Amino acid sequence: MYMVDTVIIDAGYNGLVTGIVLTKAGLNVLVLDHATWLGGQVAGAPGYNAAMRILNEWNPLR
């Protein structure tokens, strides 16, 4: 069984950033979304690739 400290229901930009911040604080985080892509409404918008690059740099699992 996998135990988590918090569940975030939103894989949009803010949900992902929140998950990264909480993970860096030492919490086990699970991020859920109904979509099959990351970024929510930001996906496909101008600057989306730059935003995802920033999230990748913050990735606590690297």
Q: Where are the domains of the chain?
A: 6-58
3-state secondary structure of 23: helix
Tokens of 31: 């991020």
pLDDT in tens, 5-38: 999 998 888 888 899 899 999 999 999 988 776 7
pTM over the 0.75 mark = no
Dihedral over alpha carbons 36, 4, 58, 62 (to 10 degrees)? -90
